[in-house]
Amino acid sequence: MQERERDRTGQLDRRSFLGAGAGALAATAAIGPEAVGGQAPAQAEGAHRATDSAVLAKRKLGKSGIEVSMLNIGTWRSPGVERLLRFAWANGVRYIDTAKSYGSEPAIARWLQANPGARKELFLVTKDHPRSPGQLVEQLEKRLEALKTDYIDLIFIHAMGDHDFATEVEWPRSKEFKEAAEAIRKSGKARLVGFSTHHPRRPEILQAAVQGGFVDAIMLQSNPWIAQEDAMNRAIDACHKAGIGLISMKQVAGNMNLDEVARRLPEMAEKKQTPYQALLHAIWSDERFTSVCVSMRNTDQIRENTAAARSYKKPMSRAEIDRLRDACIAAGPTMCASCDGRCSHAAGTEAELGNLTRFLTYHEHHGYRSEARRQYAALSAAARNWKGADFNAAREACPNKLDFATLLPRADDLLA
Ligand code: SF4
């Protein structure tokens, strides 16, 4: 059970959860909403052509009007990407998310070369880290080379705000980014331009994009309860009204006790729904989001998440979402959701409690041990020093009610 939970957890964090090849285009005519759930992976992967009935529902991406799968597959450090892409394609996913730093572009390129017919149906997104927005124009050429394609559908500046928040918060309303975006769209090498962000102050970055008026789409860390908090809610609303397409990512990280969630929400069993499927339904209930990015790292996760997309018929009520939130938090630990860092403020410490628990999640739940240690080592000494922090105040302030008294010593043990 532990392994099963551990395995499932990955699907709900950023490059995970809510984070697959088109080589042998999948699914036979038999693959529909029901057939997918009961089909052995090998059978689905062996199928050769997708049918309309297999394609997942789509939503319009902002004012671009382009329709994209409501579920997309993130490919950060995914093992066996080509196999996963085949299976995701067979199960109706038509949107793939990658980035220069993910290392998955060559596998996507191989898959595309083996399946040239897939390109037209696919919404392909990649990202890069420019030193300034204008550099994105030349970086796009490199991304096309890596993906071995003439165009991509959307290019993002990756992790806006992470390198230098004060500078980067200005980019979405800057002349330089505007001119780069216009040049890229005009070239036809990327149809749309935007950015991704999980920065704690991302509401300010989103508002800057509304002011700039030239960004097509934003992928942001969110979940159904953070999206309702004041600053985030206002920023998401403003983007939606401005026609900026929104994609949700990194919804949940960390292991939840799935049995505990199910015990608290017996209606899930009646609906034959898993906690992660309920969480996806809760995200799709917010129509301001076009799609959800999930790193699906095995065929079970692809099957579970695509089945959730097929069974989504109507928005959950606020009361249902609140009950799901309470059950998820009670079945913790659900890890840092990268809010505005209020835990550190409440605890009276300069230590970055959110980052410390996030890196612990990478280490313990996703198996990215060296990456977790690398990111921990990159923090300043003050950001790592949580001694004297008021854990109770931090827990009270945290939307995910993290047990810092337990988690922070563990972070030290495993990451230092
Ligand atoms: S309060 Fe919670 S969700 Fe927010 S940064 Fe801190 S640990 Fe993360």
Q: Does the pLDDT value for residue 71 go beyond 90?
A: yes
> CA-CA distance, 206 to 217, in Å (whole number)?
10
Query: Residue 188 Cα, ligand 1 centroid: separation in angstroms?
Result: 40
Q: Does the pLDDT value for residue 151 go beyond 90?
A: yes
pLDDT of residue 205: 98
Q: Is the dihedral of CA 130, 133, 135, 136 positive or negative?
A: positive
Torsion of CA 293, 298, 301, 303, to 10 degrees: 110
Among 226, 250, 342, 362, residue to substitute to test ligand 1 (most atoms within 8 Å of Cβ) = 342
Q: Can you tell me the mean pLDDT for 218-241?
A: 93
Which pairs count as long-range contacts for 269-275, CB under 8 Å and 24+ apart, including other chains? 273/308, 273/311, 274/304, 274/308, 275/324, 275/327, 275/328, 275/331
Which pairs count as long-range contacts for 236-240, CB under 8 Å and 24+ apart, including other chains? 236/206, 236/288, 237/288, 238/206, 238/207, 238/210, 239/206, 239/209, 239/210, 239/288, 240/62, 240/288
Query: Residue 61 Cα, ligand 1 centroid: separation in angstroms?
Result: 29
397 lines ligand 1 (CB under 6 A): yes
353 lines ligand 1 (CB under 6 A): yes
Query: Residue 252 Cα, ligand 1 centroid: separation in angstroms?
Result: 12
Which of these ranges, 45-49, 129-133, 327-331, has the smallest mean pLDDT? 45-49
pLDDT of residue 361: 86
State the closest ligand 1 atom to the C-alpha of 394, by its place in the atom list counted from 1. 1
Residue with tokens 């949107």: 95
Q: Can you tell me the mean pLDDT for 191-214?
A: 96
pTM for the whole structure? 0.82
124 lines ligand 1 (CB under 6 A): no
> CA-CA distance, 127 to 144, in Å (whole number)?
11
Q: Quick one: pLDDT band at residue 13, thresholds 50, 70, 90?
A: very low
Cβ-contact 83, 89 below 8 angstroms: no
Max CA separation in the chain (angstroms): 62
Cis peptide before 333 (omega within 30 of 0): yes
Query: Residue 388 Cα, ligand 1 centroid: separation in angstroms?
Result: 18
Q: Does the pLDDT value for residue 353 go beyond 90?
A: yes
3-state helix, strand, coil in the chain (%, to 5): 50, 10, 35
pLDDT of residue 208: 98
226 lines ligand 1 (CB under 6 A): no
| Tens of pLDDT, residues 230-275 | 899 999 999 999 999 999 998 776 667 788 888 899 988 888 999 8
Q: Does the pLDDT value for residue 4 go beyond 70?
A: no
Q: Are strands 67-69 and 58-60 parallel, antiparallel or unpaired?
A: antiparallel
Torsion of CA 396, 400, 403, 404, to 10 degrees: -80
81 lines ligand 1 (CB under 6 A): no
Ranges of each domain in the chain: 2-328, 342-415
254 lines ligand 1 (CB under 6 A): no
Tokens of 370: 């060296």
> CA-CA distance, 281 to 287, in Å (whole number)?
11
Residue type, 122: L
pLDDT of residue 363: 87
Q: Can you tell me the mean pLDDT for 131-146?
A: 98
Q: Which of 11, 22, 83 is nearest to 292 (CA)?
A: 11
Among 14, 223, 329, 343, residue to substitute to test ligand 1 (most atoms within 8 Å of Cβ) = 343
Q: Does the pLDDT value for residue 8 go beyond 60?
A: no
Q: Can you tell me the mean pLDDT for 34-41?
A: 27
Cβ-contact 249, 293 below 8 angstroms: yes
> CA-CA distance, 232 to 16, in Å (whole number)?
21
Q: Quick one: pLDDT band at residue 74, thresholds 50, 70, 90?
A: very high
- For the domain 2-328, what is the CATH superfamily, name and number? NADP-dependent oxidoreductase domain (3.20.20.100)
Helix intervals (H) in 227-334? 230-241, 258-264, 267-270, 275-284, 299-311, 318-330
pLDDT of residue 253: 65
Q: Does the pLDDT value for residue 21 go beyond 80?
A: no
Q: What percent of the chain has pLDDT above 70?
A: 86
| Tens of pLDDT, residues 192-201 | 999 999 888 9
Query: Residue 334 Cα, ligand 1 centroid: separation in angstroms?
Result: 10
Write phi, then psi, for 205 (nearest 5 degrees): -70, -40
State the closest ligand 1 atom to the C-alpha of 342, by its place in the atom list counted from 1. 1
Helix intervals (H) in 118-229? 136-147, 165-168, 175-187, 202-212
pLDDT of residue 362: 84
| Tens of pLDDT, residues 79-131 | 799 999 999 999 999 999 999 999 999 999 999 999 989 999 999 999 999 99
